[in-house]
Amino acid sequence: MSNPVFDNSPVFGDPRKKKRTAGAPGGATMTAGTAGAQVADAATLNALYDSPAATTRETGRLTYDDVIVKTAGLLALLVVTGAATWVLAPGLWIVGAIVGLVLGLVNAFRRSPSPVLITLYTAAQGVFLGGISAFYESQWDGIVGQAVLATLSVFAVSLVLFRSGKVRVTPKFQRAVLVAMVGYVVYSLVNVVLMIFGVGGGDFGPLRSGPLGIVVGLVAVGLAAASLIMDFDSIKRGVDLGVPAKMAWSAAFGLIVTLVWLYLELLRLLAILRQ
């Protein structure tokens, strides 16, 4: 006995059986019944074909909207906690720096994103940035507004370059950025050690002051912009591959980390330029 679903389907049904049914005795009644089933099946198939395909949101997959919403929410939290720290307790910046560093490392090495830990990291970074920004603003009036505007500008330019295809994230590009970032970290650590032991001078250390500090600052901003482009590429690949929607938290976390780094570099670069 064959499957009745396939038998009655206008797509899978055996056309030879339909012909035999049409010529059988009493075929008028049987043909009418079969024709009715065929019409019903055809209407069902047409409805399925005409219905819109399931979206990535309906299938629980990552979408750009997910990333945008999560990132916007975290940025709002960052700004609120930063403004509150600036006004109420700028001295808490060191607490925010330590807690943010610990939570940043924890989130970076987690295989599955934790919305709670990512939110706490963002709040800690807000405390850190609020205190640091208050200090810079007390030394150089208007510098925080300039740094925020510059950060948004670099973000927009990086996004435009990525969307236009003028900058492609190739394996060679990734290796170059990685090597440059490692070199930058080592350079910064050497500068911190020199500051601790009182070697050289300058408000930002002997290797981050004066003309040399400006050059290094520009390089750091360029690396942060390249990191943003790599972040955009990772998000695009995640959407194309249909990764789970919860990975939007990881994408938002990565963007927040890069934006915080970019803002700090621009803040320091502007301070050197205004000295």
Who's near 223: CB < 8 A, 6+ residues apart? Answer: 177, 180, 181, 184
Token pair of 91, please? 């001295």
Cβ-contact 125, 96 below 8 angstroms: yes
Question: At residue 2, does pLDDT exceed 50?
Answer: no
Cβ-contact 137, 143 below 8 angstroms: yes
d(CA 38, CA 41): 5
User: Model pTM?
Assistant: 0.78
**E strand intervals along 196-255:** none
Using CA of residue 88, residue 143, residue 214, residue 176, what is the dihedral sign? positive
- Of the pLDDT bands very low, low, confident and very high (cuts 50, 70, 90), residue 41 is low
Question: At residue 34, does pLDDT exceed 80?
Answer: no
Question: At residue 46, does pLDDT exceed 70?
Answer: no
Count the helices and strands in the chain (H runs, E runs): 10, 0
Token pair of 162, please? 């990525």
pLDDT digits (tens, 9 = 90+) for 56-69: 455 689 999 999 99
For 236: left if phi > 0, alpha if psi spans -120 to 50, otherwise beta; the answer is alpha
pLDDT digits (tens, 9 = 90+) for 246-263: 999 999 999 999 999 999
d(CA 267, CA 211): 16
| CA 50 centroid distance within chain | 34
Token pair of 78, please? 């960052």
Cβ-contact 220, 270 below 8 angstroms: no
d(CA 111, CA 101): 18
| One-letter amino acid of 230 | M
Token pair of 217, please? 């600052």
pLDDT digits (tens, 9 = 90+) for 209-237: 889 999 999 999 999 999 999 999 999 99
Question: At residue 144, does pLDDT exceed 70?
Answer: yes
Question: At residue 20, does pLDDT exceed 50?
Answer: no
61 φ/ψ angles, rounded to the nearest 5 degrees: -105, 160
pLDDT digits (tens, 9 = 90+) for 169-193: 999 999 999 999 999 999 999 999 9
d(CA 193, CA 110): 31
Q: What is the DSSP letter of 169?
A: -
Question: At residue 7, does pLDDT exceed 60?
Answer: no
